[in-house]
A and B are shown apart, each in its own frame.
Chain A
């Protein structure tokens, strides 16, 4: 009886606090500002850092274009997944995480094949160059992703954090490929990809706190 009173008190309190609210837009609509701002931000940053001189030639290489399209697909699909996962009831659409994870898996396989064929040749790590620029490139996309998810109420914080990290990774990686002219798989994996993987892992560990609601 006492417990029922407590519940009634909570209900009455919540009813008193009720205010008309605008429900969240469709996940596709919510993800559009992220993609727009993130693409403009990375393009601007790439121009400021300096586009690699051999970019026109690289566009003619099938393997370079394959990488770019794969990462773009991963990033966009991960951003859409984050948007879906940001609201309760996402369990109905849990399959939505499969495309970005598959793209990431294909990318890992692709890197492995390249590593076997060309060797993990890593002339210079460029710790001060690629890693720093990579962080800058991921900063705004990552922040926007976190804000997008925090506007909702995710019931899958860890998976959502993973999707956020993949979305920012894809865009940051593309940005770095436009600015850094070092194409060896060792450099690309360690300097371009590894920092994002580390950030993703840290985000995953703190996901419950980050997306607490």
Chain B
């Protein structure tokens, strides 16, 4: 009886301490990957510049919404935003490069995580300084990088590269206001194969095939480019800020690692 009780107490102690163990490991992962991505550059801890939103614990590891809201209030502008998931095999989620001098930019992505991992957002300002904030996201243990794709791979060519775009701010749209500052959501149909997924029939890994570049124009004006990896979910969704400039359409050009180019012209405005 006493032995069982003590075993139980030890178990409870282990459970309580496991969070700390994960944190220590995560820190060591970051110190290992930081030089490969940012070399010897100094990264400042961001206090006010970046707000990173991600769930504390995921519901579905295959599609986790994360949002980064960057605001540079001192005259500098935002050059790029890098999103990282330390413990994914390909830690760089995406690198966004802004084409225009913006002091504020909000980017939302849906991602997948192989396991519990810190998520980081690194903002590079126009003077080349780097600011970082991070948040630990706990997963539900599905091992999403290897979890089988939902897409029927025999029918990929029917839908691959299809895109849809709509404004996110429903309140503004329904209230009939003509707001200049918009927030849109782009959906891309793509299996975004990680290369880690097993074909359950042949028991071989399905070759990787994922969206690796994306460029968005508002009319003739380029807004940004994104370089992305396998951490973006199957059928990626990207939320971003844009400003009405008189153009009727957004143009999106994406490429994937097969070298396939996908181009869509999508209407903007209140009715979209």
The yes or no verdict on A and B being binding partners is: no
